[in-house]
Amino acid sequence: MSKTIFITGASRGFGRLWAEAFLNRGDKVIATARNTQSLNDLKEKYGDAILTLQLDVNSREQSFEAVNKAKEHFGQIDVVINNAGYGLFGTIEETSEEDARQQIETNVFGLLWVTQAVLPIMRAQGHGHIIQVSSVLGITTLPNLGIYNASKFAVEGLSETLATEVKDFGINITLVEPNGFATEWAGASAKQSENIPAYDKVRAAFNEGMSDTDIFGIPEATTPAILKLVDAQTPPLRLFLGKVALPWAKQTYEQRINEWEQWNDVATAAHGK
């Protein structure tokens, strides 16, 4: 059975790939982007199966308008994929107020506005699936991406909470957590803070780690996983994409648990009774 799928950030990267995969198999797609001209070829190829809408997710008003237009056009929204977002490179000290606020506005509040807009529709339908594109950097962290890490940690907490709030309405929530992929995320889509020389060593180590091309997956290879996720009757709350994410997460949690246990006597005494 075909589905109606609303995707933000559909002009490039994962959003574009997944939108075309859904259309190719017969789903209906609402593809949103700040500039919809890049979606004209999909409109020409798939016709009435795709609705393209201009959307800046930073605007709560635009987000609600786009979701309502999608509902009016297709009659329902089965799946939302909150994919819009970008990377901000720079250490914590280097990050300007403007860049930090803009990163959180897009990666966190943009996702929140679209989520809030679609929830009444899905509650009325009695079903729905909201897929939040997070990152393995919502589980663990890398230096030189501090505000991006923070944005994805926020998405994780928001979405895990949401899952407990809407489960009785027939609405599923999934956090998709890719490791690095060879998209434009670190290229044309990214922003870079102004460098402070004191952090040159941190930056050099980061760049050296990013030079290992084996850690970056092939974006097109994610498509079968996303199709399977959308079709799942009982989708998971979390889904890694790529082979690097799970071993890295395991290592991170082992380190956390060991440290918590080492300090557990202090923690227990702080309870006071």
Q: Catalytic annotation on 152?
A: yes
Q: Catalytic annotation on 201?
A: no
> What pLDDT score does 184 carry?
75
> What pLDDT score does 187 carry?
64
Active-site residue among 46, 63, 135, 148?
Answer: 148
Cα 35 to Cα 11: distance, rounded to the nearest angstrom:
7
Active-site residue among 46, 71, 86, 134?
Answer: 134
> What pLDDT score does 190 carry?
82
At 138-162, the pLDDT tens digits run 999 999 999 999 999 999 999 999 9
* CB < 8 Å & 24+ apart, contacts of 54-62: 55/8, 55/84, 57/8, 57/9, 57/32, 57/84, 57/106, 57/109, 57/110, 57/111, 57/113, 57/114, 58/105, 58/106, 58/109, 58/110, 59/113, 60/109, 60/113, 60/116
pTM: 0.96
> What pLDDT score does 213 carry?
80
Tokens of 119: 């929830």
Active-site residue among 11, 63, 152, 193?
Answer: 152
Torsion of CA 45, 47, 50, 56, to 10 degrees: 80
> What pLDDT score does 173 carry?
98
> What pLDDT score does 182 carry?
85
> What pLDDT score does 86 carry?
94
Cα 84 to Cα 75: distance, rounded to the nearest angstrom:
23
> What pLDDT score does 49 carry?
98
* Residue linked to tokens 């700040």: 34
> What pLDDT score does 39 carry?
96
Q: What are phi and psi of 83, to 5 degrees?
A: -105, -20
At 18-44, the pLDDT tens digits run 999 999 999 999 999 999 999 999 999
Which ranges of the chain have pLDDT less than 50?
none
